[in-house]
């Protein structure tokens, strides 16, 4: 994964609250419901032949609901009103990530999708931990306003167990093409990079 150009700015308190941070909140308002529907689709596809994958994606979908419930306080702290949210036009560079998750939901085997998604979890969790700390330190955000990032920053042993079980079962059942799964992972991480680069106003580098 390439270097994230935005999170260091937030960590230093140099990202504008009402423009950059507000855009982050607004883009996540589009990402979360899209990812939830993709995860539910993957869970449906995994039944009955890949119960372990179904359990993993069901838990992910439930997590998106919880994350969505926490996003509003962050958006409000960034000055996002209901009118602004309704009028907001999402950025293609930010929405490429959930679009590809939706592609995976239709085209990847559930176990391959598990592999691609979990490869990105550690980086995403680290970003969220850094942002949560910076929002408190530099922007004076309350715990409620930081709850969205706290949620993703907290490791989930249950999710890790379900992911490992899904991958193991998928490999045993011959449902994982390792080369294809690596390509899915590479593309998903590139779209993750593009999300942050778009918000920072920079052109993302292409990984090799």
DSSP 77-138: HTT--HHHHHH----HHHHHHHHHHHHHHHHS-HHHHHHHHHHHHHHHHHHHHHHHHHHHHH
Mean pLDDT of 167-179: 97
Name the nearest CA neighbour of 71 among 143, 142, 149: 149
Count of CB atoms situated within 10 Å of the CB of 110: 27
- Residue 136 CB partners (closer than 8 Å, separation 6+): 143, 146
Position 46 pLDDT exceeds 90: yes
DSSP 12: T
Query: Percentage of the chain with pLDDT > 90?
Result: 91
The pLDDT value given to residue 206: 44
The pLDDT value given to residue 207: 42
Mean pLDDT of 90-99: 98
Give the Cα separation of 58 and 39 in Å (integer).
7
The pLDDT value given to residue 193: 95
- Residue pair 113/184 in contact by the 8 Å Cβ criterion: yes
User: What is the tens place of the pLDDT at every residue in 97-117?
Assistant: 999 999 999 999 999 999 999
**Which fold does the domain 7-200 belong to in CATH?**
Heme Oxygenase; Chain A (1.20.910)
User: What is the tens place of the pLDDT at every residue in 110-151?
Assistant: 999 999 999 988 899 999 999 999 999 999 999 999 999 999
DSSP 182-206: HHHHHHHHHHHHHHHHHHHT-PPPP
Mean pLDDT of 26-50: 97
Count of CB atoms situated within 10 Å of the CB of 202: 11
The pLDDT value given to residue 1: 43
Position 204 pLDDT exceeds 60: no
Position 39 pLDDT exceeds 50: yes
Helices 51-77 and 110-139, interaxial angle, to 10°?
20
Average pLDDT, the chain: 94
Position 208 pLDDT exceeds 90: no
Query: How would residue 2 be classed by pLDDT, with cut points 50, 70 and 90?
Result: low
The pLDDT value given to residue 202: 61
């Amino acid at each position: 994964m390439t270097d994230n150009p935005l999170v260091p700015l937030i960590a230093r308190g140099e990202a504008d609250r009402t423009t950059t941070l507000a855009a982050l909140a607004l883009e996540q308002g589009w990402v979360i419901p899209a990812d939830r529907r993709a995860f539910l689709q993957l869970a449906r596809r995994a039944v009955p032949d890949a119960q372990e994958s179904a359990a993993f994606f069901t838990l992910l979908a439930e997590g998106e609901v919880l994350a969505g419930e926490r996003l509003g306080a962050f958006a409000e702290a960034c000055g996002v009103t209901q009118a602004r949210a309704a009028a907001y036009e999402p950025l293609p560079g930010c929405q490429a990530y959930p679009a590809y998750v939706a592609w995976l939901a239709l085209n990847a085997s559930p176990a391959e999708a598990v592999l691609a998604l979990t490869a990105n979890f550690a980086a995403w969790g680290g970003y969220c931990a850094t942002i949560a700390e910076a929002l408190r330190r530099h922007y004076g955000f309350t715990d409620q306003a930081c709850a969205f990032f706290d949620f993703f920053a907290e490791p989930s042993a249950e999710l890790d167990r379900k992911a490992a079980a899904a991958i193991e079962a998928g490999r045993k059942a011959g449902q994982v093409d390792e080369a294809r799964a690596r390509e899915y992972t590479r593309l998903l991480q590139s779209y993750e990079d593009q999300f942050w680069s778009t918000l920072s106003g920079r052109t993302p580098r292409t990984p090799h």
